[in-house]
């Protein structure tokens, strides 16, 4: 990536600023926009009309004026598209949100408020946990009731509990409806079937891990099904060695 566009270089030039790796595991496209993207002053056609001029002391410049003068020297000119790399990203196997490393225990609290934006909608964490639990339990109850011959009266509430599943080495992620499962056997069978075309036939070559509410990655088989179903956020199938 080259930057030979007549930059007004900052006083501490460093190539670190443009090194994607520097931003570590959480760089997604949104972050990058902020970091490298709009290093320009937004349009201010009207602001000069409304900035308060300090009338009390005509010799002093107001903040607006002071800032105007200094930014001319500092700000990178608008014409510089510093987003080149953002638009032609090299072939990424993972979508931006999955740039986290695959360390099993990478606590990643900010990612995945239901795969949405961090902290939105503005609900406290414990309420979010409650919502998630309730969703799962409802899905369970509804399916159990259907199994046992009860009819769930016409509620519009969704019964399904889709979570994202990624298989190591496979580009496209899938989604699986956990409410249809009551044990790890049926789940892994279904998952292997989903990824049948993309992976080795033998399910013993893969280990199932899941990300819990706290953002930690755990081995699915290590916990009882009930614990798993109450806190699972997403799934991954890792190739097991040996």
Partner 1 sequence: MKMMMGSSFPEEVLEHVFSFIERDKDRNAISTVCQSWYEIERWSRRRVFVGNCYAVSPAILIKRFPDVRCLELKGKPHFADFNLVPEGWGAYVAPWIAAASSAYPWLEEIRLKRMVIPDDSLELISKSFKNFKVLVLSSCEGFSTEGLAAIAANCRNLRELDLRESEVEDLNQSSGHWLSHFPDNYTSLVSLNIACLNSDVSFTALERLVGRCPNLRTLRLNRAVPLDRLAILLRRAPQLVELGTGEASDLRPDVLSNLSGAFSRCKELKNLSGFWDVAPGYLTGVYPICPRLTSLNLSYAATIQSSDLIKLVSQCQNLQKLWVLDYIEDLGLEALAASCKDLRELRVFPSEPFGVEPNVLLTEQGLVSVSEGCPKLHSVLYFCRQMSNDALRTIARNRPNMTRFRLCIIEPRTPDYLTLESLDMGFGAIVEHCKDLRRLSLSGLLTDRVFEYIGTYGKKLEMLSVAFAGDSDLGLHHILSGCENLRKLEIRDCPFGDKALLANAAKLETMRSLWMSSCSVSFGACKLLGQKMPMLNVEVIDERGPPDSRPESCPVEKLYIYRTVSGPRLDMPGFVWTKDEDSALGLS
Provide the 3-class DSSP secondary structure of residue 113.
Answer: strand
Q: Which is nearer to partner 1, 81 or 119 (CB)?
A: 119
Nearest CB to partner 1, comparing residues 152 and 171: 152
Q: Verify binding: residue 184, partner 1, rule CB under 8 A.
A: no
Q: How far is the CB of 160 from partner 1 (least distance, A)?
A: 10
Question: For partner 1, which residue of 4, 52, 57, 58 counts as binding (CB under 8 A)?
Answer: 52
* Residue 69 binds to partner 1 (criterion: CB under 8 A): no
CA–CA separation, 145 and 151 (whole Å) = 7
Closest distance to partner 1 from the beta carbon of 8 (Å): 9
Helix (H) or strand (E) holding 144: helix 125-147
| Under rule CB under 8 A, residue 47 binds partner 1 | yes
Backbone angles phi, psi at 104, to 5 degrees: -60, -30
Residue 216 within binding range of partner 1, rule CB under 8 A:
no
Listed residue (94, 106, 99) closest to 218, CA to CA: 106
81 is a site residue for partner 1 (CB under 8 A): no
Q: Which of 101, 103, 134, 240 binds partner 1 (CB under 8 A)?
A: 134
Q: Which is nearer to partner 1, 37 or 184 (CB)?
A: 37
Cis preceding-peptide flag for 121 (omega within 30 of 0): yes
Tokens of 132: 């998630």
Q: What tokens appear for 227 in the block?
A: 């614990």
Q: By CB under 8 A, which span of 10-18, 142-150, 163-171, 174-182 interacts with partner 1?
A: 10-18
Angle at 126 between CA 120 and CA 127, to 5 degrees: 60
Find the shortest distance in angstroms from Cβ 29 to partner 1. 13
**Contact flag: residue 5 with partner 1 (CB under 8 A):** no
**Which is nearer to partner 1, 114 or 169 (by Cβ)?**
114
Residues 6+ apart with CB under 8 A from 68: 48
Reduced 3-state DSSP string for 14-43: CHHHHCHHHHHHHCCHHHHHHHCCCCCCCC
* Contact call for residue 84 and partner 1 (CB under 8 A): no
Instruction: Out of 158, 186, 227, 240, point to the residue binding partner 1 (CB under 8 A).
Output: 158
Closest CA to 112 of 241, 235, 239: 235
Beta strands at 162-167 and 234-239: parallel, antiparallel or unpaired:
parallel
d(CA 164, CA 145): 26
Report the nearest approach of partner 1 to the CB of residue 24 (Å): 8
Joined tokens for residue 53? 């001029």
Binding site for partner 1 (CB under 8 A): 10-12, 14, 16-17, 22-24, 26, 30-31, 34-36, 38-44, 46-47, 50-52, 62-64, 66-67, 70-71, 74-76, 109-110, 113-128, 130-131, 134-135, 137-138, 155-158
């Amino acid at each position: 990536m080259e930057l030979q566009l007549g930059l007004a270089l900052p006083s501490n030039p460093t190539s670190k600023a443009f090194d994607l790796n520097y931003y570590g595991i959480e760089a997604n496209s949104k972050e990058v926009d902020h970091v490298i993207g709009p290093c320009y002053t937004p349009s201010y056609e009207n602001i000069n009309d409304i900035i308060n001029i300090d009338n009390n002391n005509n010799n002093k410049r107001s903040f607006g004026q002071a800032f105007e003068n200094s930014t001319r020297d500092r700000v990178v000119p608008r014409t510089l598209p510093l987003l080149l790399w953002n638009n032609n990203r090299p072939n990424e196997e993972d979508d931006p949100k999955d740039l986290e490393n695959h360390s099993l225990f990478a606590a990643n609290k900010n990612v995945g408020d239901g795969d949405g934006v961090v902290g939105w909608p503005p609900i406290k964490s414990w309420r979010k946990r409650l919502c998630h639990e309730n969703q799962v339990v409802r899905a369970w109850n509804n399916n159990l009731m259907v199994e046992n011959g009860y009819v769930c009266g016409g509620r519009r509430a969704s019964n399904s509990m889709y979570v994202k599943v990624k298989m190591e080495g496979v580009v496209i992620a899938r989604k699986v409806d956990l409410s249809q499962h009551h044990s790890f056997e049926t789940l892994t069978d279904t998952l292997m079937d989903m990824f049948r075309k993309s992976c080795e036939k033998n399910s013993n070559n893969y280990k199932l891990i899941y990300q819990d509410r706290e953002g930690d990655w755990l081995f699915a088989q290590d916990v009882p099904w009930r614990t798993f179903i109450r806190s699972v956020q997403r799934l991954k199938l890792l190739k097991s060695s040996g």
